[in-house]
Structures are given as structure tokens and as C-alpha cells.
């Protein structure tokens, strides 16, 4: 009952925040103009402008924040179960940065353009390769240090390639290095969705076996779990969710770390419950951060990475202190 209440509360909060996000930005829109423009047959010029801003600019961005935030939340809960480590944030340990690196390489070589289907697929492969390079059996602190080191290497390589290609002022460095939803469009979203749907389905299918991995490989094998296969499929699911998202939005840190760790004490660690809760929580967090980023300044935006770091850094410190106390 408690879990259902939390899921319902998260759902209502997401609906309310979506409405706020559609009306918020450097140009504030009135709810009355929005509703009257939709339901009346003769909208005024002001109401038509409001509908145009919402439909063509804000709605794709809001939907993008929701689906990418949900994907990062699901991926975070899955990776933490897969690595049996509460610090396994796909962005923080370099999985997202690996996808961005291959995405930039493909763009620089002229193989695929930004937001194209081949570019998203290549970014997914990059995320999978980066995930495979992370040592699996490490304590939480060494794990995050190794992952952070690898992620820094991938990010630095991305910036270097962008600079060599003369793309330092375009979407190359500014988008992928800092993280942004400003280039989100309906065509890009439609190309992204199949990757996210496939990754979500795969994560759901293997979630029960991922839960059993927490008992140890020997016990999980005794229970009929093919541990090697489950871990490989888990990495594929994570790459589909994280790599494809990074191809369009860049590296969104802390979403996959904060959301599962906050919700796990409330809904439990069973992935069949934690993943839907993390999807809603991730969508809420990224949508809230994006709404703030484009509302705080009269012109321009505050970096999404900066806002997410302000939220996520205290959570990271608390997790580390908790792990130290438990050891």
C-alpha cells in the first residue's frame, strides 16, 4: 500500500511539474492564455504565440526531459543492482561519457550527424564499451574513483576532438560536455524512443535475476541464474538507456545516483518496484532541473550539470559516509 501511494504521489507530482515547465522559461506564459488558445475557436495573437512557443519549443524539451530522466533513473537502479554498488551512477562512472565520445567521433568523421539514428546507435555502442571497461568487483570508493577516472578520460578526449575539428562553439563541446536539452526536437525524440523502449523492456525482463545477484554468484547460480548472461544483458540494457540519451542530451550526472538511493528506503530494493519509482523520480528530477535552468536567467540558461551537481553532491557524500560507517 505504501509503495503504491509513493508511486501515485510521484505520478501526480510529475503531471503538475509538467504544466509548470510548459509555462515557465525566459518568457513566462499565462495558464489562461494557454487554455483559452486550446479550447477556443478564435485565439488572440497573444494566445497563438503562447501555443507556438509551447508546441514547437517547450513541449519537445519537456517530453525529452521526462523520457531521458526516466531512462537515467531506470539505468541507475539497474546498474546499482548489477554491480551491487550504490555508487554505480552510469553518468558518474563514465558510461555516458563513453557514448558521447563515440558520438563525437562519428560526427567528426562525417559518419553520422547529430541526432541521427546512426549517431544514436554509435553512442549506444560507446556506452556499452565504456561499461565493459569498469572493474566489477571493487569496493564503493575505489569503484567510483576508477569510474570517475575513466569518465574524465572519455570527456577530455571528446573535448580534444571537438577542438581539433573546430567545433568548440557548436553542439559538440557545449552540449555533450555540459549537458543540455536545448536542441531537443520531435524528430530526434522519435529516433530516441525505440532505444529507450528496448532498454526498458530488457531491464524489466532481467530484473528478477539481477535481484538474485545480490545473494552472490554461487547462490544465484544454484537458483538457476546464468550470471554471466544476466550481467551482459544488464550492460546492454544500460547502454541502450544511457548511451542513446547521451547522444542527444550529453552527460547528465547524478540522476542515476540520487534517485534510486533516495527511493530505495521508501519502496525497497526489488527492481520490479524500484525501477518504476526511479523512472518517475528521474523524470521529476531532470524536468525540475531543466525548468530551473531556463527560468533563472532572463537570457540564456544555467548549466544543467551545475544544478544536478548541487543536488547530487550532498547525496554522494551521505552515501560515502554511510558506506564507511557500515564497514
- Tell me the pLDDT tens digit for each residue of 64-118: 999 999 999 999 999 999 888 888 888 878 898 899 899 888 888 888 887 789 9
Q: In whole angstroms, what is the distance from residue 70 CA to residue 64 CA?
A: 10
Residue 41's contacts (CB-CB under 8 Å, 6 or more residues apart) are none
Residue 196: the pLDDT is 96
- Position 56 confidence tier, pLDDT thresholds 50, 70, 90: confident
Buried b (16+ CB within 10 A) or exposed e, 145-155: ebbeebbebbb
Residue 60's contacts (CB-CB under 8 Å, 6 or more residues apart) are 184, 185, 186, 189
Q: In whole angstroms, what is the distance from residue 74 CA to residue 6 CA?
A: 16
Q: Pull the grid cell for residue 16.
A: 503538475
Segment 36-63 shows an average pLDDT of 70
Q: In whole angstroms, what is the distance from residue 130 CA to residue 290 CA?
A: 27
Domain boundaries, the chain: 2-326
pLDDT at 320 over 80: no
Segment 148-171 shows an average pLDDT of 75
pLDDT at 173 over 70: no
CB of 312 closer than 8 Å to CB of 257: yes
Q: Mean pLDDT score of the chain, rounded to an integer?
A: 84
Residue 11's contacts (CB-CB under 8 Å, 6 or more residues apart) are 280
pLDDT at 54 over 80: no
- Position 169 confidence tier, pLDDT thresholds 50, 70, 90: very low
Domain 2-326, what fold? ABC transporter involved in vitamin B12 uptake, BtuC (1.10.3470)
Q: What is the pLDDT of residues 190-243, one digit of tens each?
A: 999 999 999 999 999 999 999 998 888 888 888 888 888 998 999 999 999 999
Amino acid at each position: 500500500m505504501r509503495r503504491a501511494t509513493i508511486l501515485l504521489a510521484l505520478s501526480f507530482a510529475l503531471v503538475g511539474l509538467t504544466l509548470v515547465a510548459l509555462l515557465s522559461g525566459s518568457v513566462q506564459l499565462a495558464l489562461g492564455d494557454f487554455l483559452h488558445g486550446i479550447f477556443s475557436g478564435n485565439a488572440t495573437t497573444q494566445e497563438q504565440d503562447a501555443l507556438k512557443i509551447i508546441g514547437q519549443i517547450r513541449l519537445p524539451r519537456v517530453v525529452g526531459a521526462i523520457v531521458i530522466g526516466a531512462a537515467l533513473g531506470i539505468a541507475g537502479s539497474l546498474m546499482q543492482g548489477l554491480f551491487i554498488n550504490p555508487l554505480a551512477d552510469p553518468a558518474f562512472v563514465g558510461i555516458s561519457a563513453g557514448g558521447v565520445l563515440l558520438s563525437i567521433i562519428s560526427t567528426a568523421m562525417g559518419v553520422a550527424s547529430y541526432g541521427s539514428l546512426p549517431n544514436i546507435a554509435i553512442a549506444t555502442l560507446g556506452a556499452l564499451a565504456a561499461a565493459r571497461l569498469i572493474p566489477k568487483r571493487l569496493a564503493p570508493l575505489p569503484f567510483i574513483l576508477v569510474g570517475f577516472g575513466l569518465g574524465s578520460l572519455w570527456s577530455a578526449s571528446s573535448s580534444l576532438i571537438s577542438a581539433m575539428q573546430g567545433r568548440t562553439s557548436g553542439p559538440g563541446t557545449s552540449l555533450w560536455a555540459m549537458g543540455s536539452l536545448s536542441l531537443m526536437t520531435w524528430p530526434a525524440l522519435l529516433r530516441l524512443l525505440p532505444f529507450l523502449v528496448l532498454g526498458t523492456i530488457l531491464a524489466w525482463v532481467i530484473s528478477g535475476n539481477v535481484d538474485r545477484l545480490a545473494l552472490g554468484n554461487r547462490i544465484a547460480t544454484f537458483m538457476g541464474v546464468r550470471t554471466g548472461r544476466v550481467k551482459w544483458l544488464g550492460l546492454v540494457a544500460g547502454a541502450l538507456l544511457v548511451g542513446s540519451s547521451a547522444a542527444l542530451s550529453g552527460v547528465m550526472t547524478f540522476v542515476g545516483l540520487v534517485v534510486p538511493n533516495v527511493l530505495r528506503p521508501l519502496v525497497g530494493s526489488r527492481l520490479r518496484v524500484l525501477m518504476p519509482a526511479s523512472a518517475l523520480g528521474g523524470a521529476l528530477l531532470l524536468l525540475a532541473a531543466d525548468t530551473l535552468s531556463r527560468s533563472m536567467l532572463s537570457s540564456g540558461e544555467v548549466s544543467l550539470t551545475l544544478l544536478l551537481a548541487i543536488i547530487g553532491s550532498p547525496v554522494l557524500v551521505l552515501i560515502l559516509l554511510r558506506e564507511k560507517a557500515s564497514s
